[in-house]
Amino acid sequence: MTETAMMDGVQEVLDKLRPFLLRDGGDCELVDVEDGIVKLRLLGACGTCPSSTITLKAGIERALIEEVPGVVEVEQVF
């Protein structure tokens, strides 16, 4: 899968998850996808929430790995 196709797939999954983040006052922004590593910036309440690591790894990362071929990890960027 090309980087562009992977970014499109990642954005599609993030759009599905976004309502749950917005409900809690947060959001996320896709920064880059490189070698299967998705780089996200957590925004709003998600950026300062103590549970943001759990949201990132257990929620967003798991969904991306399951739904987008080639995704291997999610990293938070600031």
Q: Phi then psi for 57, rounded to 5 degrees?
A: -80, -50
- DSSP of 35-74: TTEEEEEEEEHHHH-TTHHHIIIIIIIHHHHHHSTT--EE
| pLDDT attached to residue 63 | 97
Structure tokens belonging to residue 29: 């922004």
Per-residue pLDDT tens over the stretch 8-60 = 999 999 999 999 999 989 999 999 999 999 999 999 998 888 888 888 998 99
- What is the pLDDT at residue 47? 85
pLDDT at 33: 95
**Structure confidence at residue 66 (pLDDT):** 97
**Of how many residues is the chain composed?**
78
**Across residues 57-70, what is the average pLDDT?**
95
Q: What's the domain range around 62?
A: 3-76
CATH number of the CATH domain containing 53: 3.30.300.130
Rounded to two decimals, the pTM is: 0.91
The total of structural domains in the chain comes to 1
